[in-house]
Amino acid sequence: MSDDKTVSTPDTSGSTLTQGTTADGEVLLKVTGLQKHFPIRKGLLQRQTGAVRAVDGIDFEVRKGETLGVVGESGCGKSTMGRLITRLLEPTGGSVQFEGKDITHLKTGELRPMRRDVQMIFQDPYSSLNPRHTIGTIVSAPFRLQGVEPEGGVKKEVQRLLSVVGLNPEHYNRYPHEFSGGQRQRIGIARALALNPKLVVADEPVSALDVSIQAQVVNLLDDLQQELGLTYVIIAHDLSVVRHVSDRIAVMYLGKIVELAERDQLYTSPMHPYSKALLSAVPIPDPKRRGVKSERILLKGDVPSPIAPPSGCRFHTRCWKATEICKTTEPPLKELRAGQQVACHHPENFEDQQPQDTKLLSSAHEVAAENGVEKSTGGDAATAGK
């Protein structure tokens, strides 16, 4: 999934288009102002007393043939976002457009044709497969539900799919408990690929697997993308995996996208302080660096509750650069550098967007003191780990 790869995707006329994952590629998925608030109900009459703002207004696009990685701490809304764009959950607000068509509020019958083109790989390979069904029944379910009869018959196509994902076609009549975790995840991938989808949303596809098996599954996803021209949205918290598979990466925090950038830009020059803190936690496998003091940035406290998120920038309670404007005004997600969008008043590795606001909040002083971070004026860039 390198930057210069090309993929072949069939168009509606049956011809083959060769397309790279470039900035001017055709937009497959467009998300605007997407929200999902889960109501909190109490009392005998179950009146709503609040809401969990799991996803609270996010915007992004996914182009044909590319892989968008989504990272963030647990509870930031990544998985909810994945279920929203596949329409497994009904959005509270905003819009989701797939191939130019608004699918935000389609009914069950109207969603059925779209299900062929948008599939999901679930996080847990143990609970996403019905233990009472054979592998043949599980992988053939999309054909049955969509009323599709593959050429050569369902059994032959299922066995072909099992072979594609690296499983023995003779395992057609086995049950999920007879397979390892990595093999079960491969079965889930085969099921997702059954109807030749255009977009695959993979929710933590390797987090429940051993490290050696993770590499196999990641390489399999890479190979399938190149062979079949797939478009991926891969949700993960392992930054090393995301770096390996992604073309662009979105960083989420408390229901918001705080940075969206090309892979190499994000890893070499992150702009949002939260992105910088996340990347500082990635271990560097270099024996020469053994004994060298780590430049790890330790964030103070826990992620605030999505029931009552902080005002202004949601990261200001844990940020070492937070000033008064961060507390009162929410920064918009805007492109400060070509291919790199960030929602921050005082971005890293770039000129300050609010240079007149120089007085740090008390919480920022505490975080700065813990991490050895300095910020003398609003226009100075912060330096960490010095």
Q: By CB neighbour count within 10 A (0-12 exposed, 13-18 middle, 19+ buried), where does 35 fall?
A: middle
Asked whether residue 125 carries a pLDDT value surpassing 90, the answer given is no
CA distance to 164, 174, 228, 305, per residue, from 152 (Å)? 16, 22, 20, 53
Cα separation of 1 and 19, whole Å? 13
Using one digit for the tens of pLDDT, what is the confidence trace for 151-193?
A: 889 999 999 999 989 899 999 999 999 999 889 999 999 999 9
Rounded distance between C-alpha atoms, residue 37 and residue 52, angstroms: 5
How high is the pLDDT of residue 57? 95
Average pLDDT over the chain reads 85
Joined together, the tokens standing for residue 45 give 């009459």
Q: What is the tens place of the pLDDT at every residue in 266-323?
A: 999 999 999 999 988 877 776 666 555 557 788 877 889 999 999 999 999 999 999 9
Q: Determine the average pLDDT of the residues in 248-267.
A: 95
User: Is a pLDDT exceeding 70 seen at residue 102?
Assistant: yes
pLDDT of 356 above 70: yes
Question: Would you state the pLDDT for residue 291?
Answer: 59
Give the tokens for residue 15: 């011809």
Residue 55 pLDDT level (bands cut at 50, 70, 90): very high
Structure tokens at 216: 């196999």
User: Cα separation of 64 and 68, whole Å?
Assistant: 11
- Residue 384: pLDDT band with limits 50, 70, 90: very low
